[in-house]
Amino acid sequence: MVAGTDAAGVVLPHLARQLIALHAQRDDVATQVEALAGGPPSFCPDPDHPCPG
């Protein structure tokens, strides 16, 4: 048995739950920002050709 294997079995599921919660929080914040801004963010990839609107 490799030292630390048991610890990894405890730590990894905890980190996975934290990551899932972080993704949910990020989605919630994105939804709130879109509501405040009136829609999804605008992005114009080409500065030489401005986006309409």
* Tokens found for residue 23: 């993704």
Q: Which of helix, strand or coil describes residue 30?
A: helix
* Rg of the chain on CA atoms, in Å: 21
Tell me what the pLDDT averaged over the chain comes to.
Answer: 83
User: Which of the four pLDDT bands, split at 50, 70 and 90, describes residue 5?
Assistant: confident
CA distance 32 to 1: 48
Angle at 24 between CA 21 and CA 28, to 5 degrees: 135
Q: Which of helix, strand or coil describes residue 32?
A: helix
pLDDT tens digits, residue range 9-25?
Answer: 899 999 999 999 999 99
User: Which of the four pLDDT bands, split at 50, 70 and 90, describes residue 1?
Assistant: low
Q: Which of helix, strand or coil describes residue 28?
A: helix
Locate the domains of the chain by residue range: 1-34
